Chains A and B, each alone.
Chain A
Amino acid sequence: MTGLHHMLVHFPVGFWALATLMILVGAVSQGRLAEIARTALLPVLILSLIGALAAIVTGFLVWPWQANLYSPLARNHILMSLWSLGLWTLITVLVWRAGEATFQHIRRWGLVFLALLGGALFAITGTLGGHLAGAPTAFSRLLGALGWNVYTTFYMPTWMLAVMVLVGLGCAWLGLSAYRRPRLPARIKNRVTIS
């Protein structure tokens, strides 16, 4: 299973790297290339999720589950891979929902931010995978310089867990509240929907 996992991880890493590039091109440039990037983004994202799921499933089968749990590097690899999957799923859903309007207005910059964050997450995931495969890279030294030694488990103190959950709940409330806003006066509503 080790070899299969090593092969499959190239798909999400490659697709997510490509998706990050496409989002940057689509957001900051105009012309044919940007148009292709915007149009092809959703298929690339969907392929990346399929590849990521396959990589993660095979990854869980490389070692006994207890060995995964007992290894700080493996724990970090699992956490970062699942967070990567979560964030890129988020990006995929947003791109799918916004459709052709994905890159309009301020959304494009929001997407750029999320894509860069996703890029950082899968880069960390890949680096940790390299460590586990016996091929560490200099990127982990950069992480160390930024305050995280990858040989230590990435976990939060309990109060920070509460902050993360509360911020998540707050974000969800903001989104849900948008659907429950009182009806706008007709004159303002027209300004928003007719353009």
Chain B
Amino acid sequence: MKKTIWTMSLVVMALLSSCNKEEAAPTPTLYDRLGGVNAISAVVDQFIANVAANPKMVRTFKPLLDDVGKGNTARVTALRNNLIDQIGEAAGGPQKYKGKDMVTAHKGMNITEDEFNSLVNDLVLALDKFKVPATEKGELLGVLGGLKGMIVGK
């Protein structure tokens, strides 16, 4: 009986590991053209640094900034991870974003249009720092700009 259970466990594990789909796109996706996870994480790091130094972002990011001030970077790490996943998925990357949807994540924060535009400006500055080509920058901002309706005024 024990041998049967262990044998079945081996079969299940072999099946699960073989279910990993290999995505072979015929043309490079935006994710590939941006430079993959290393480039996206570099842009996200610069974006977060820009946001933290932006006085217009203090109201919406205060709990996160307060934690960083106390030496606890768990929240900013969670934000960074979610941004990497979300931008990676929006750019056509292999993995999926598993965090909250934008409406739920921003519910009750009453984000104004001015704050949203300031955030987008911080992202543009981060993309410009790494000299992301205009085509890729426009594509990425177009995808993320579509989230405005789910964030502003919620």
A, B from the same assembly: no
Residues of B participating in the A interface, judged by any CB pair closer than 8 Å: none
